[in-house]
Amino acid sequence: MRSKGDQLSYHLMLGPGLLVLLLFSVVPMFGIAMAFEHYVPSKGIFHSTWVGLDNLRYLFQIHDGKQIFYNTVFIAVMKIVSNLVVSLVFAVLLNELRLRFYKRVIQTVVYLPHFLSWIILAGILWDILSYRGLVNQILGVFHVEPIMFFASNRWFPFIVVASEVWKEFGFNTIVFLAALTGIGPALYEAAALDGAGRLRRLRHVTLPGLTPVVILLATLSLGNVLNAGFDQIFVLYNPLVFESGDIIDTYVYRSGLLDAQYGFATAVGLMKSAVGFVLILASYFLASKFANYRIF
């Protein structure tokens, strides 16, 4: 079986994939040099002024530096946790529905926002939450002063998280529903015979059956802790909530593309990659330990 000819053909098949990886993931890494330069495009990487660690030093010197990392982690962690909890609860509840028709309809309806773009959802949110929007009009009935949700650093991160959950929990629900079908009906029957009611079956059969999936999803999403959702925040934020809503990606976009601070923006991006790398290692370690998930 292990003749050399066999292996060669496999290796050849690997070739195109590796080439793409090399071209798009390895070669651009040399661009990291920009993080240590006062980069001017027309001069190129080799002729721009070398400034050493100046860009990184400036990042740590300004208040923005700490803030964007804090905001990113805060928003992303909240999103990961709420997405897991909401969709898990929802999947379990949906699973208990007896009418399959209702189950299907509800599943589809909550899944729908997943397909809408953030531009559209932002418009809807704006109408609901603006100064004279729906929510404030209702609050007005109870003589509550209108709240500027999009100008308030207290509210903004939660609006971001809640709207993300609204958009995405339907998708995760489907993952959990799939896992639910994987739990053998024999277990339920056995539990029922032993006299377990619905709640006990839920506690002792359903939840333990879902644990590996939950752990897997949670640990894998650790690698995303530094991705708090550029397109969502980009359409929702404004200068008033930079303090609580500006994340690494939006910051890199503004400083790199709008203000042409290529070197500085690269430095910020590099910091993100460095931290992200550590987190991915950690999540892989955790996943292999608790969920038996291995790449190699």
Partner 1 sequence: MAGLVACSNGGKGAEPSAGSIASAGASGTAAAEAHDPFGKYEQPLEVSVGKFLNLTDKTLPAGDTPTNNQFTRYLEDKLNVKIKAAWQAGGDAYSQKVSVAIASGDLPDAMVVYSYSDLRKLVEANLLQDMTDTINDYASPLIKDIYTAGNDAALKAATFNGRVMAIPASQGLADSMYMMWIRQDWLDQLGLQPPRTVDELENVIGQFIKTNPDKAQNPIGLPAGNLYGMTNSFPTLNPLFAVYHSYPNNWVRDSEGKAASGLIQPETKEALGKMREMYAAGLIDKEFALRKDPFEPIINGSTGVFFGPWWMGFTPLNEAMNKNPQAKWKAYLLPLDKDGQFNTHVQSPANMFYVVRKGIEHPEAIMKMVNVQTQNELGLDPDAHMDLKVDWVNEPLRAPIAYPDSIEKDSEKVHEALDGKLPVDKLTSVQKRVYDNYLKTKDNPTADIGGWSEAFSYVEGAGQLLRSFNKVPSLYYGETETMTTKGATLGKLQQETINKIIMGAAPLDSFDQFVKDWKRLGGDQITAEVNEAIK
108 forms part of the interface with partner 1 (CB under 8 A): no
Return the SS3 of 287: helix
Quick one: which of 38, 103, 114, 204 contacts partner 1 (CB under 8 A)?
38
Candidate list 239, 294, 295, 296; residue touching partner 1; CB under 8 A:
239
Q: Does 12 bind partner 1 (CB under 8 A)?
A: no
| Interface segment toward partner 1; rule CB under 8 A; list 62-70, 192-200, 210-218, 276-284 | 62-70
268: CB partners within 8 A, 6+ apart = 59, 68, 248, 251, 252, 255
Q: CA-CA distance, 247 to 156, in Å (whole number)?
A: 13
Which member of 41, 140, 182, 184 binds partner 1 (CB under 8 A)? 41
Contact of 72 with 245, CB cutoff 8 Å: no
Q: Enter the tokens of residue 183.
A: 């739990």
Q: Select the residue interacting with partner 1 from 243, 277, 285, 289 (CB under 8 A).
A: 243
CA distance 110 to 112: 5
Instruction: Write out the two tokens for 77.
Output: 């962690």
Q: Applying CB under 8 A, which part among 26-34, 61-69, 105-113, 156-164 lies near partner 1?
A: 61-69
Does 264 bind partner 1 (CB under 8 A)? Our answer is: yes
Binding of residue 62 to partner 1 (CB under 8 A): yes
Q: Is 9 in the site for partner 1 (CB under 8 A)?
A: no
* One of 128, 196, 240, 275 touching partner 1 (CB under 8 A): 240
Q: Does 285 bind partner 1 (CB under 8 A)?
A: no
Cα separation, 17 vs 210, whole angstroms: 34
Residue with Cβ nearer partner 1 (156 or 169): 156
Q: How many residues bind partner 1 (CB under 8 A)?
A: 28
DSSP conformation class of 37: E
Does 254 bind partner 1 (CB under 8 A)? Our answer is: yes
Does residue 139 touch partner 1 according to CB under 8 A?
no
Please give the helix or strand (H or E) that residue 177 lies within, else none: helix 156-181
Contacts 24+ apart (CB under 8 A), 39-48: 39/262, 39/263, 39/266, 41/262, 48/263
130 binds partner 1 (CB under 8 A): yes
CA distance 128 to 132: 9
Q: Cα–Cα distance between 77 and 226 in angstroms, integer?
A: 9
Nearest distance from C-beta of residue 164 to partner 1, angstroms? 21
Counting contacts by CB under 8 A, is residue 49 touching partner 1?
A: no
Binding site for partner 1 (CB under 8 A): 38, 40-43, 58, 61-64, 130-132, 148, 150-151, 238-240, 242-243, 254-255, 258-261, 264
